[in-house]
A and B are shown apart, each in its own frame.
Chain A
Amino acid sequence: MSYFTGLVLLLVASAIVNNVVLSQFLGLCPFLGVSKRVETAAGMGGAVIFVITIASFVASLIYKFILAPTGFEYMQTIVFILVIAALVQFVEMVLKKNVPSLYKSLGVYLPLITTNCAVLGTAINNVTNNYDILESVINGFGVAVGFTIAIVIMAGIREKIEYNDIPETFKGSAIVLVTAGLMAMAFLGFSGVI
């Protein structure tokens, strides 16, 4: 299997087969909190794609060129969480100054992303699986695309659910969780693909 085929398989695997929300349970907060309308869900997805891709790139650069050569691999958790928090702030500043139009559509979502454990989880997964830098970026992009797919589908379903007659006790997050369970069942069907 060539390197390129490996990358494509990695992309599909991280986006769909091992979907970050529905099979790994990472990034549940925005998945439950920002999925009431398709527009906002798509905006959140865009911001997550942007941040996770950059964060996986930066984290694997730091691991490869600073932590690994100096023997400080065990510092990865501390370094990654600080780098990610600083990175989100930095991305916010750069977007605001240089790309105001993108900032206007993604800006409000950026502060919510530091809480997203998917960002830290992806950075640590990249290191655990010994991905090189290109593989890390592809994996990060795939994870974020998977998140976007899940949250947009969820938002679409929730827009319909609003008009349904739900039992009083299941209103709010309970019915959302049950819906997420049904979606996770559907995504289980992909598990034999790769």
Chain B
Amino acid sequence: MNKYLERLYNGLWKENPTFVLMLGMCPTLAVTTSAINGIGMGLSTTVVLVLSNMMISALRNIIPDRVRMPAFIVVVASFVTIVQFLMEGFTPSLYSSLGIYIPLIVVNCIILGRAESYASKNPVIPSMFDGIGMGLGFTVGLTLIGIVREILGNGSFFGNTISILNDYHITLFGLAPGAFFVLGLLVAIMNIIRKNMAAKGKPLPAVQGCLGGDCSGCSLSSACTGKSLVHHIEELPPVDPKDVAKPQMQKPEVKHTANAKNSEDVEKSGSDSSYADDDVEGKEEDK
């Protein structure tokens, strides 16, 4: 398989951002009231992701390492603004139904995550395909969740009312609680699949987003709030375990000190191994 197809396969299936990595949960919950909204949100995120991946990859040798996060944010925010204006002009109804979640694409973990872990290290064309794969994977995820919620909550499929389903629809699934229920079930199903795959000896990549139980999974919190934005801030003192009741809160601190010591550690903190560690610790706590 050539490397471009491999990138597409990776985004759509192997590391699907919605189902496997569980990234970008804010828009996933908020806009999936119907399948059309899911597609709209997914495609606009894809456009931003592809353009920002290409731009960041083209500028990867120019952007100094220590200001890379603010630079990435400016690039992403610029493309989001452009997409926002295009949608306002050409798809006004979709624009009004997605509302505030369009500007919030800026803080979507997927985009900065791909910029940090792929586009800033690879040439333009592979980065573009990476963006297309991840973006389409996200679109498929949102659309599938949207289809489920639309059928359950509204008895319709892509806006076409189906009379049998409409007689038995549960309005709750179109509202806020339904979003939480559907996602909760999805996580439970993925837990089963994860277990089976691990038993077969082919473990899935670890959950990276907020659902991993730790906000430090998002590249924004590990890099943007580290020492990269304002570099001369003094080191945070190491957290005394007595001050913090909860072991989880110490992890970001440990990462920040590591960030300051060595920029290579920043890259390591973005790799899968650290998430896997987090996951294991989380499970131990549960027991």
Q: In terms of DSSP, what is the predominant structure of the interface of chain B?
A: helix
B180 near A178 (CB under 8 angstroms)? yes
A181 near B221 (CB under 8 angstroms)? no
* Contact of B107 (CB < 8 Å), options: A25, A81, A107, A177: A81
* Contact of B100 (CB < 8 Å), options: A33, A114, A121, A170: A121
Asked whether any CB of chain A lies closer than 8 Å to the CB of B168, the reply is no
What sequence of 0s and 1s flags, for each residue 1-38 of chain A, a beta carbon within 8 Å of any chain B beta carbon? 00000000000000000000011111011101110110
- Interface residues of A toward B: which range? 35 or more
Given A36-B246, A125-B100: A115 touches B78 (CB 8 Å cut-off): no
B213 near A181 (CB under 8 angstroms)? no
Q: Which residues of chain B in 68-116 are interfacial with respect to chain A, using CB atoms and an 8 Å cutoff?
A: 70, 73-74, 77-78, 80-81, 84-85, 100, 103-104, 106-107, 109
Asked whether any CB of chain B lies closer than 8 Å to the CB of A184, the reply is yes
What sequence of 0s and 1s flags, for each residue 158-194 of chain A, a beta carbon within 8 Å of any chain B beta carbon? 0000000000111111111110111011011000000
B74 near A85 (CB under 8 angstroms)? no
B86: min CB distance to chain A, Å: 12
Residues of A within 8 A of B29 (CB): 25, 28
B50: min CB distance to chain A, Å: 19
B123: min CB distance to chain A, Å: 27
Residues of A within 8 A of B78 (CB): 78
Cα of A97 to Cα of B145 in the assembled complex, Å: 48
Asked whether any CB of chain B lies closer than 8 Å to the CB of A134, the reply is no
A115 near B220 (CB under 8 angstroms)? yes
Asked whether any CB of chain A lies closer than 8 Å to the CB of B203, the reply is no
- Interface residues of B toward A: which range? 35 or more
A75 near B81 (CB under 8 angstroms)? yes
* Contact of A173 (CB < 8 Å), options: B104, B187, B246, B249: B187
B244 near A40 (CB under 8 angstroms)? yes
Cα of A146 to Cα of B142 in the assembled complex, Å: 27
A111 near B252 (CB under 8 angstroms)? yes
Cα of A29 to Cα of B85 in the assembled complex, Å: 28
Residues of B within 8 A of A85 (CB): 70, 73, 224-225, 229
Residues of A within 8 A of B246 (CB): 36-37, 39-40
A120 near B103 (CB under 8 angstroms)? yes
Residues of A within 8 A of B5 (CB): none
Asked whether any CB of chain B lies closer than 8 Å to the CB of A77, the reply is yes
Residues of B within 8 A of A104 (CB): 243
Residues of B within 8 A of A66 (CB): none
Asked whether any CB of chain A lies closer than 8 Å to the CB of B215, the reply is yes
Cα of A140 to Cα of B70 in the assembled complex, Å: 24
* Contact of B183 (CB < 8 Å), options: A30, A177, A188: A177
Asked whether any CB of chain A lies closer than 8 Å to the CB of B198, the reply is no
B213 near A22 (CB under 8 angstroms)? no
A29 near B215 (CB under 8 angstroms)? yes
5 contacts between A and B (CB under 8 A): A92-B233, A181-B178, A181-B179, A187-B176, A188-B175
Binding site for B on A (CB under 8 A): 22-26, 28-30, 32-34, 36-37, 39-40, 74-78, 81-82, 85-86, 88-89, 92-93, 104, 107-112, 114-115, 117, 120-121, 124-125, 128, 168-178, 180-182, 184-185, 187-188
